[in-house]
């Protein structure tokens, strides 16, 4: 049987900009209402995640993620994150965002 | 409908009513609800004024400072400060915190010097965490044990405060405004200042604009108006390696609407010819503060090369600083220091060796470089990564993303951007110089509206705050000038009657703003924006002459006649962006007119006229002004220190005391 395939316009950004975890999102639309540029609009279905309509108008201020009441429901992704790298001082190992087998997350809370 | 593929298009999710009129009245109308607008609203409301705030975004988070701040600059009146506002003004006669030099504005600088700490205390009263109340930094060199205030840069003189609740300041301001009964109108793009009987140069009696979700029309009648919108950003750069709005350092809503509106109403503008080579918005730039660094938010991190060789820190005289703790102290014989090797020598601060670029070129230091956070004392490391990188605007994503990917500042050295050698040592490493024709106006680097010691413009009823002035650019500058303008506008409104709004001005504006949604087809806003930016790059880039500027104005007019008359918007959001394009035409032309009016080059203004190559000849050490009178452009000039000349007193302190309006309210 033939496989099904779909066509959509190419994404306008080199990154996803805003990813919403559909299982965690409650569709409260707080992110929609704190966004300075209306990157997102509400879904036509109540309780569903908003639609990321204008990702190329994102300023990457991060307020949508900061003000989201559900941890990890929104991830803001900077363009070209893969270029960010660091070196472990003691061992000389090199790391970068997106690498295979990354080091465990650093869970130290910020000062705020 | 043409240009809309019905099969793919979804219906706009908000109810649309183009042209439907809503009327709102206020004592004090505030256009732009960023940091300056919010402080203005609170200070006017506290004086009993009925305050209305209008913002293109959502006031809870809008504005360039909406995502947070780490440094609170210019807090010279805090109890630990060892320098006074007047000592600062003596050393740098007229400057803004990021625009040291002869063309800053002394009024707003002095206001910031005097009220910065008060504004921070206002915020603390609203629940913002300012001090190290949890003793996370007990014993740190930068912490005052008694007040628990934490300082940055100069730990001896202690005038710049680290704010550990900086990421949530805007939310606290928003809540305070609601508590005080301020009426907030989000998602409204103000497009016109209403003047008495619609007369250019007349008293400002309100404003009008459109809702960016519903398309409805709003008419605001007000006794006084504070313009606290932003410096006109994004005139030159629309897309770089990064696509769209993310390519510019400034808040993408900062399209210059305030400047264009004020211009059309007859306000006098200053220094519109000033711009800088794009740095914060430059090509190859990384997320702000998102590389290893040694400047501002990362001050004063140790930097090592690829082989672990440390790059020395030096004092202003080039003497190597051996201990980390001495990077936060003035040089021998120095009263205090500012930011890097900027401004007068008197206040040059510690920096990496000034010939770093040369040393990289000749192989003394090997790329890539790294920020040696593990090598920093624990307090400093935790201040950089966790206090500063987190609370500074837009840094929360960096903190979260890098930490999730396993970056650990206790063990890891974050890499600096790998750049051509000449790009090192100019400023923050995440910034890079782009091509010369890419200009920007961030951090007080552009032009704005002329104002007096009341922060009033030449138009009765119109006040300015924040970066709408031609100065400033820091959170504290916005907060303090907002607070001051709020007092002045409230005092004016107390004794004023509402002015007459002319119907013809409303009808004319409605015809203008709704034209793009009445068309069936035409040019989209993005194509037009990119084209307008290209005109600025080509004809008003780093190097200019009479011919390029005249040609630039000609093409702006031509775009206005042709493409703009075919501009097409499918919904209220696209309409907002389309109207911003019309703003860009207005502002672009003002910038080129101002550039023609200054017939000399200037180092301070980063202004290069190929046909007038003399740099800062004495006869041009003045502010060139522009305004419209009955539609004609009038140029004028002001002395560089007009605020210390008649009718004003010759000293900052005397003028401030006379005009600040603090005593009568028992504040300060």
The domain limits of chain B are 21-279+438-495, 296-423
In a domain, A110, yes or no: no
pLDDT tens sequence across B466-521? 999 987 778 999 999 999 999 999 999 999 999 999 999 999 999 999 999 999 99
Burial status of residue A23 (CB atoms within 10 A of its CB: 0-12, 13-18, 19 or more): exposed
The verdict on a CB contact (< 8 Å) between A87 and B413 is yes
Nearest to A56 among B186, B243, B382 (CB): B243
In a domain, A2, yes or no: no
The 10 Å Cβ neighbour count of residue B102 is 19
Does the structure show a pLDDT above 70 at B102?
no
Report the C-alpha gap between B191 and B260 in whole angstroms.
9
Report the C-alpha gap between B441 and B444 in whole angstroms.
7
Q: How confident is the model at residue B77 (pLDDT cuts 50, 70, 90)?
A: very high
pLDDT at B89 (0 to 100): 85
The encoded tokens of residue B197 equal 């009987």
All residues of chain B having their beta carbon less than 8 Å from the beta carbon of residue A63 are 61, 66-67
In a domain, A28, yes or no: yes
Alpha-carbon separation of residue B349 from B77, B329, B345 (angstroms):
21, 9, 9
Kindly report the CATH number that applies to the domain delimited by B21-279+438-495: 3.50.50.60
In a domain, A104, yes or no: no
Tell whether A59 is within 8 A of chain B (Cβ).
Answer: yes
The verdict on a CB contact (< 8 Å) between A14 and B243 is yes
Which residues, in sequence order, are CB contacts of B435 under 8 Å at separation 6+? B283
The verdict on a CB contact (< 8 Å) between A60 and B412 is no
SS in 3 state form for B148-198? CCEECCCCCCCCCEECCCHHHHHHHHHHHHHHCCCEEECCEEEEEEEEECC
Q: Mean pLDDT over all residues of chain B? A: 93
d(CA B563, nearest CA chain A) in Å: 22
The encoded tokens of residue B418 equal 């790998």
In a domain, A3, yes or no: no
Q: How confident is the model at residue B7 (pLDDT cuts 50, 70, 90)?
A: low
Q: How confident is the model at residue B97 (pLDDT cuts 50, 70, 90)?
A: very low
Q: What is the residue-wise DSSP string for B402-466? A: HHHTT--TTTEEEEPPP--GGGTTSS-TT-----TT-EE-TTTTS-EE---TTSB-SSTTEEE-G
- How many helices and strands, by DSSP H and E, does chain B display? 15, 23
Report the C-alpha gap between B394 and B288 in whole angstroms.
7
The encoded tokens of residue A21 equal 């975890």
d(CA A103, nearest CA chain B) in Å: 5
Tell whether A83 is within 8 A of chain B (Cβ).
Answer: yes
pLDDT tens sequence across B260-294? 999 999 999 999 999 988 776 666 678 889 999 99
The verdict on a CB contact (< 8 Å) between A78 and B167 is no
pLDDT at B1 (0 to 100): 43
pLDDT at B158 (0 to 100): 97
pLDDT tens sequence across B321-338? 999 999 999 999 999 998
pLDDT at B339 (0 to 100): 82
The domain in which residue A22 lies consists of 18-96
pLDDT tens sequence across B25-69? 999 999 999 999 999 999 999 999 999 999 999 999 999 999 999
3-state secondary structure of B574: helix
Report the C-alpha gap between B112 and B287 in whole angstroms.
28
Nearest to B245 among A56, A67, A103 (CB): A56
In a domain, A47, yes or no: yes
In a domain, A38, yes or no: yes
In a domain, A109, yes or no: no
Nearest to B412 among A13, A59, A88 (CB): A88
Nearest to A59 among B129, B245, B398 (CB): B245
All residues of chain A having their beta carbon less than 8 Å from the beta carbon of residue B65 are none
Q: In this structure, are residues B587 and B580 in contact, taking their beta carbons and an 8 Å threshold?
A: no
The encoded tokens of residue B75 equal 């807090």
């Amino acid at each position: 049987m033939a496989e099904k395939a779909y066509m959509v316009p190419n994404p306008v950004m080199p990154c996803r900009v805003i990813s919403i975890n559909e299982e965690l999102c409650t569709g409260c639309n707080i992110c929609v209402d704190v966004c300075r540029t209306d990157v997102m609009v509400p879904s036509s279905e109540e309780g569903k995640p908003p639609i990321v309509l204008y990702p190329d108008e994102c300023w990457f201020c991060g307020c949508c993620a900061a003000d989201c009441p559900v941890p990890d429901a929104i991830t803001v992704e900077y363009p070209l994150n893969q270029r960010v790298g660091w070196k472990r001082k003691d061992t000389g190992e090199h790391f970068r965002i997106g690498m295979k087998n990354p080091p465990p997350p650093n869970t130290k809370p910020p000062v705020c | 409908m043409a240009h809309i593929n019905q099969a793919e298009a979804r219906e706009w999710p908000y109810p649309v009513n183009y042209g439907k009129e809503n009327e709102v009245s206020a004592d004090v109308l505030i256009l732009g609800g960023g940091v300056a607008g919010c402080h203005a609203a609170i200070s006017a409301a506290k004086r009993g004024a009925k305050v209305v705030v209008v913002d293109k975004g959502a006031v809870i988070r809008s504005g360039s400072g909406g995502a947070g701040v780490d440094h609170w600059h210019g807090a010279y009146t805090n109890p630990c400060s060892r320098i006074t506002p007047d000592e600062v003004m003596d050393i740098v006669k007229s400057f803004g915190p990021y625009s040291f030099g002869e063309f800053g504005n002394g009024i707003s600088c002095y206001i910031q010097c005097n009220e910065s700490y008060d504004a921070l205390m206002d915020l603390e009263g609203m629940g913002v965490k300012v001090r190290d109340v949890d003793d996370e930094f007990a014993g740190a060199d930068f912490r005052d044990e008694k007040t628990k205030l934490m300082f940055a840069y100069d730990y001896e003189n202690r005038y710049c405060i680290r704010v550990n609740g900086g990421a949530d300041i805007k939310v606290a301001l928003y809540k305070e405004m609601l508590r005080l009964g301020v009426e907030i109108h989000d998602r409204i793009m103000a497009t016109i200042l209403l003047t008495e009987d619609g007369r250019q140069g007349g008293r400002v009696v309100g404003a009008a604009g459109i809702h960016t979700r519903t398309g409805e029309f709003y008419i605001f009648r007000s006794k006084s108006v504070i313009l606290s919108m932003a410096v006109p950003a994004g005139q030159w750069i629309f897309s770089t390696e990064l696509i769209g709005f993310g390519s510019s350092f400034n808040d993408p809503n900062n399209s210059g609407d305030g400047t264009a509106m004020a211009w059309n109403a007859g306000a006098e503008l200053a220094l519109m010819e000033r711009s800088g080579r794009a740095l914060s918005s430059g090509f190859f730039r990384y997320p702000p503060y998102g590389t290893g660094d040694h400047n501002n938010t990362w001050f004063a991190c140790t930097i090592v090369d690829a082989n672990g060789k440390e790059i020395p820190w030096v004092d202003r005289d080039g003497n190597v600083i051996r201990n980390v703790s001495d990077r936060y102290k003035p040089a021998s014989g120095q009263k205090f220091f500012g930011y890097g090797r900027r401004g007068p020598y008197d206040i040059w601060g510690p920096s990496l060796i000034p010939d770093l670029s040369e040393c990289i070129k000749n192989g003394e230091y090997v790329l890539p470089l790294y920020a040696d956070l593990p090598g920093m004392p624990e307090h400093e490391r935790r201040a950089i990564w966790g206090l500063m990188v987190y609370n500074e605007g837009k840094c929360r994503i960096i903190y979260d993303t890098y930490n999730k990917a396993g970056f650990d500042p206790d063990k890891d050295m974050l890499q600096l951007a790998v750049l051509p050698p000449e790009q090192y040592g100019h400023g923050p490493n995440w910034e890079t110089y782009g091509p010369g024709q890419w200009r920007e106006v961030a951090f007080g680097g552009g032009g704005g509206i002329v104002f007096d010691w009341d922060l009033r413009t030449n138009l009765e009823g119109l006040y300015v705050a924040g970066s709408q002035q031609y100065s400033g650019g820091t959170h504290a500058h916005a907060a303090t000038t907002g607070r001051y303008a709020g007092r002045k506008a409230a005092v004016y409104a107390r004794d004023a009657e509402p002015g007459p709004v002319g119907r013809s001005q409303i009808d004319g504006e409605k015809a203008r703003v709704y034209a793009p949604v009445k068309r069936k087809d035409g040019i989209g806003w993005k194509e037009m924006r990119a084209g307008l930016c290209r005109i600025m790059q080509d004809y008003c880039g780093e190097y200019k002459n009479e011919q390029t500027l005249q040609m630039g104005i000609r093409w702006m007019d031509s775009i206005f006649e042709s493409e703009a008359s075919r501009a097409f918007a499918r919904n209220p959001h696209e309409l907002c962006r389309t109207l911003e394009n019309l703003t860009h035409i207005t502002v672009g032309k003002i910038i080129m007119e101002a550039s023609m009016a200054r017939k000399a080059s200037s180092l301070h203004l980063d202004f290069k006229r190929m046909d007038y190559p003399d740099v800062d000849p004495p006869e041009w050490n003045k502010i060139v002004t522009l305004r419209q009178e009955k539609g004609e452009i009038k140029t004028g000039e002001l002395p560089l220190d007009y605020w210390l000349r008649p009718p004003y007193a010759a000293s900052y302190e005397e003028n401030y005391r006379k005009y600040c309006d603090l005593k009568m309210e028992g504040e300060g």
